[in-house]
Structure 1
Amino acid sequence: MGRMGVWLLVGMVGMLIPVHGQDQIPGFISIDCGAPNDYYDIELGIYYKKDDGFVDSGENWQISTLFINENRWQQSKNLRFFPNGTRNCYTLRPEKGKGNTYLIRALFFYGNYDDKNQQPLFDLHIGTDYWTTVNTFNWTYYEIIHVPTTDNIQVCLINTGNGVPYISALELRLLNSSIYPLNSASLSTRWRYDIGSSDPMAVHRYDSDNTKPTHN
């Protein structure tokens, strides 16, 4: 019984290490907005946190049951919406702080959560600066590469009078500053192309996106 107990303990520790390790990925902040708890996404290999502690306004909700099973990504199943106020902000606190280059990704899936079947239109700001306008019914994301001048980064949803703002997920990734040398400007992603892929529907993201290409 003693030996069995030791092997059981070793097995449990081995199972727990990957999850704890993903919580410590350097330069990552991964938030599932509206999620009831933190979790490890096995498919992506990323540990996601619920958004408590990053925002102090808004309400959590689940998308319509008609869309739950149609969506591959766990981050699309819940959201936080903001029925009150014109400006509601998430505060991100990256470990490396100001002066470093970060990719910030905001993800959205309306999923008819409010049973109105009417996609709202609203703006995104980085601090007080305009980033983009969100206007989509389908699962989508917006990205910006940004060098903050303070240790905290605010991502704000702005009610423009065209519906209640919402957000499904928010992610931050530390980048090598030499890749995108920026001074006082930010770069917003417009298009992303996969050149030469044999699968036009393939999705490349962490952690499989670091695979070296093969040449035939």
Structure 2
Amino acid sequence: MTMARSITTFSFALLASLASALVLLVQAQQNPGFISIDCGATLAYTDERTLITYESDEGLIDSGKIRQTSRMLTYQNDRQLLKNIRTFPNGARNCYTLRPDQGKNRTYLIRATFWYGNYDGENQDPSFDLYLDINYWATVDYSYYRFEEIMYVPKADDIQVCLVNTGKGVPFISALELRALDDGIYRLESGFLQLHWRHDIGRSLDYDDVR
């Protein structure tokens, strides 16, 4: 009788633990404070490795063309983010507008990802400028996988990320992401801090993405 009670108690405890784990997983998949956009994707999806849900950029921008990167290049084969891009052959300045729920005067991490992937068969690196609102952010001029990151405190509820044609090729983008940061750790009164380099010490994961 005692053994039966122990087994029953253990079973309930196990079920409770599994239920709690499921709740935590669902909460993690909701990604509070995240904006994750796969530029050029037609449908939303959840990344199998990071469990981050990426939205299509359709409806978020009314310019540009969706193109597929070359399947001859194997680098992006297991990276959904890099299989499609949005290009901007028309217009000098094309902008995405991000509207984080937390609003203005908060610190955000913004990441723009680029993978040319020889989508046009020209095998020529384009070069163009990246702006954050009215501020120059970076020049993108390298065709291999690249991302730009910046910590930013906006003075308005909307944040514009703009690709500016400088006459040196067609601007493009693979992904655009925003993360709300803990102001207790990362507190900027104004302006921005741009990433120079990041080292991940002691990582046990077996893939390259850090989100």
Q: Name the TM-score class by shorter chain.
A: 0.7 to 0.9
Partner of 1:52: 58
- The change in CA–CA distance for 1:56 and 1:68 in structure 2 (over 3 A counts) is farther
Partner of 1:129: 135
Partner of 1:157: 163
Measure how far apart 1:85 and its partner are: 0.6
- The change in CA–CA distance for 1:195 and 1:56 in structure 2 (over 3 A counts) is same
Q: Paired residue for 1:109, among 85, 95, 115?
A: 115
- Unmatched segments (≥5 aa) in structure 2: 1-22
Measure how far apart 1:82 and its partner are: 0.1
Per-residue CA distance 1:51-102 (angstroms, 9 max, x = gap): 0122111011110121256543210110000000110000011011111110
Structure 1 CA distance for aligned equivalents of residues 65 and 125 of structure 2: 17
Length-normalised TM-score, structure 1: 0.80
- The change in CA–CA distance for 1:196 and 1:134 in structure 2 (over 3 A counts) is same
Please report the RMSD computed on the Cα atoms of aligned residues, expressed in angstroms: 2.4
Structure 2 CA distance for aligned equivalents of residues 93 and 70 of structure 1: 29
8 Å Cα contact 2:107/2:181 also seen in 1:
yes
The percentage of aligned residue pairs carrying the same residue is: 52
1:174-213 to structure 2, matched below 5 A, reads 174-195=180-201, 203=208, 205-206=210-211
Partner of 1:212: none
Secondary structure of 2:46 counterpart: strand
- The change in CA–CA distance for 1:184 and 1:173 in structure 2 (over 3 A counts) is same
Measure how far apart 1:22 and its partner are: 5.6
8 Å Cα contact 1:78/1:168 also seen in 2:
yes
Structure 1 residue ranges, 4+ long, deviating more than 6 angstroms after superposition: 17-20
- The change in CA–CA distance for 1:18 and 1:40 in structure 2 (over 3 A counts) is farther
8 Å Cα contact 1:123/1:158 also seen in 2:
yes
Higher-Rg member (1/2):
2
Structure 1 CA distance for aligned equivalents of residues 102 and 204 of structure 2: 38
Name the amino acid aligned to 2:156: T
Q: Paired residue for 2:45, among 26, 39, 42?
A: 39
Structure 1 CA distance for aligned equivalents of residues 28 and 122 of structure 2: 38
**1:87 and 2:93 equivalent?**
yes
